[in-house]
Amino acid sequence: MKHFLKNMLIISTIAMISVTAFAQQQFTQTVTTQNTGCNTHCTYINAAGFTNDPNALIFAKQDMGNGATSPSNLIGALYRTYERKWSIYNLNGAPMAGGTTFTLEYYPKEDANHFVLIVPQKLHSYDEVYIDHAGLNNNPDAQIRIFPTNPSAGNALFNYNEVQTIYVPSASKWIISNKFGGDVPAGVAYNIMFSNGGPSTTNINSNKDLNGNIQTPIKNDINATNGKAGGDLSGTYPDPTVIGLQGKPLSNVAPTVGQVLKWNGSEWKPMTEPVSNVQTLTSLPPNGPASNDLSGTYPGPTVIGLQGKPVSNVAPAIGQVMKWNGSEWKPAADEIAPTNTTPSNTPTTAAAVTQTFFKNGTQLTPYITDMNSFTLIELTHIIVLTKKSRLVISATADISSPCDNLVVANTCPDREAEFSVTTFEPISNGTHQFSITTPVVGTSTSTAVINNFMIDLIPGTYTVEFKITNKPHSIGPIKSKVRAKARQSSIMVIPLE
């Protein structure tokens, strides 16, 4: 059957009805020098109702002006744990332009029509990102609006691509997908609100300046879950009773342990399945001799190889690892300190022994112009120290420059890019920074390496970020752009007490 896919872009303006929800607050946020932060990448929402409320749901859109027809940057909502404030964040790392205005909608918590979806890890490469929600399943006419948000307070993990929602009839569910291809990364989060396509309502707070005088949300009078139930349900909402399955009656006879629901020609009824209908399997396929990386016979073969490489039959000792010795995989001592590869959004607690935490990255930044910076999110670490410790920090990134000089045509000027590491202290809001400058010759790719930068820290939670900055050219008006690709980062934690 040919699927009918209904696309809805997240930048669309949608009239929403809040069902059993708290009424939203709507305001205008204007970017100023005073409310710009995050190294100029975000604008803080300084209203009282937005402070110290990491569970709020925020939806924002850039207001168009001066002939603009589309937003200048993709944006998301980021709660800053240090400042205890929400902010609107440029996902591509571009500076917030002064005077830019955004229309904000604010909901204090999740409800039936407003919720947060965190994208799960895929089990298969072809898996879709389903919005599995009771109000949206079997609801192809729903009006949906989604907006990027942080998966947890202070965690700037985002999808840098524009997304869309699509209804899949075969699954009777909506999905989120990248509009221009590629996977939606696991762990990113979206605020979602929807209505069933009914009449729109007008918010009396629209077009007001953000002034910090947010009032306590008022319970909405609209409540679609009251009244009499129908179809396969009987009784009244919000506590109906299921009396049918797909239009077929369901018996009200109480089941006993072990019974199954069975169709008797007129209704689904609990019944005991006769023993004669139960088949006992005495053996399971496959059977016979095993081959390739397996030896012996099924159903109990022995693994003797990995991807065609032999595995030694030597018994391992406690703590050993399988190590390739040139001819076979063989148990051997682990010569590397314990490692940790938790995602960037998960704080890592360092133990009482020396540990090394690794991150591998594939993130490719947008082109960065003079004196602008971009943070390599995939290389970020959040380290929890329970005692005074020394951090030994290393990282690698590839830096390149296109041959598209912005001032002097048909030239490929050499560039200089700064690769820096910053350790943030949330309690004192202080920072420690180390940087190196890497030359980029013509259109070639250079590798920037931070090697064993050491810093001693007291107990606490620390965020370690890596950033690329395009340094201005020292010869005349020549300007150009650079971009970087994250490779890897590591932090060795050495307890000092």
C-alpha–C-alpha distance, residues 321 and 333, integer Å: 6
Picking from 171, 191, 218, the residue at the C-terminal end of a domain is 218
Mean pLDDT confidence for 418-428: 62
Question: In this predicted structure, what is the pLDDT of residue 177?
Answer: 93
Question: In this predicted structure, what is the pLDDT of residue 218?
Answer: 39
Both tokens of 404, joined, read 């598209």
Mean pLDDT confidence for 461-482: 72
In a domain, 20, yes or no: yes
- pLDDT tens for residues 85-114? 889 988 888 899 888 999 988 888 899 899
- pLDDT tens for residues 315-369? 888 777 888 888 888 888 765 444 444 455 566 666 567 888 888 888 888 888 7
Count of structural domains, the chain = 2
Question: In this predicted structure, what is the pLDDT of residue 1?
Answer: 41
- Mean pLDDT check: name the lowest of 114-123, 194-203, 261-270: 194-203
Same domain for 178 and 48: yes
- Edge-first strand order for the sheet with 101-107 is 25-30, 101-107, 57-62
Same domain for 345 and 211: no
Question: Quick one: which of 370, 316, 339 has its CA closest to 490?
Answer: 339
**Paired sense of beta strands 288-289 and 297-298, if any:** antiparallel
Pick the more confident residue, 491 or 21.
491
Same domain for 348 and 214: no
Q: How many residues does the chain have?
A: 497
Picking from 151, 184, 218, the residue at the C-terminal end of a domain is 218
- pLDDT tens for residues 225-245? 567 777 888 888 777 888 888
In a domain, 49, yes or no: yes
In a domain, 237, yes or no: no
Picking from 197, 218, 239, the residue at the C-terminal end of a domain is 218
In a domain, 145, yes or no: yes
Mean pLDDT confidence for 409-429: 60
Mean pLDDT, the chain, integer: 76
In a domain, 3, yes or no: yes
Question: Quick one: which of 391, 388, 457 has its CA closest to 425?
Answer: 457
In a domain, 189, yes or no: yes
Mean pLDDT confidence for 417-427: 65
- pLDDT greater than 90 at residue 401: no
- pLDDT tens for residues 120-129? 988 887 889 9
Question: In this predicted structure, what is the pLDDT of residue 410?
Answer: 47
- pLDDT greater than 70 at residue 475: no
Question: In this predicted structure, what is the pLDDT of residue 455?
Answer: 86
DSSP state of 111: B
Cβ-based neighbour number of residue 356 at 10 Å:
16
- pLDDT tens for residues 270-299? 888 776 665 655 555 677 888 888 888 887
- pLDDT greater than 70 at residue 424: no
Mean pLDDT confidence for 198-221: 41
Mean pLDDT confidence for 137-158: 87
Same domain for 208 and 354: no
- pLDDT tens for residues 241-258? 888 888 888 888 888 988
For residue 421, the domain's CATH number is 2.60.120.660
Question: In this predicted structure, what is the pLDDT of residue 147?
Answer: 94
In a domain, 227, yes or no: no
Domain that holds residue 18: 1-218
In a domain, 299, yes or no: no
Q: Give the contacts of 454 (CB within 8 A, at least 6 positions apart).
A: 390, 391, 392, 393
Question: In this predicted structure, what is the pLDDT of residue 451?
Answer: 87
Question: In this predicted structure, what is the pLDDT of residue 153?
Answer: 72
Question: In this predicted structure, what is the pLDDT of residue 37?
Answer: 86
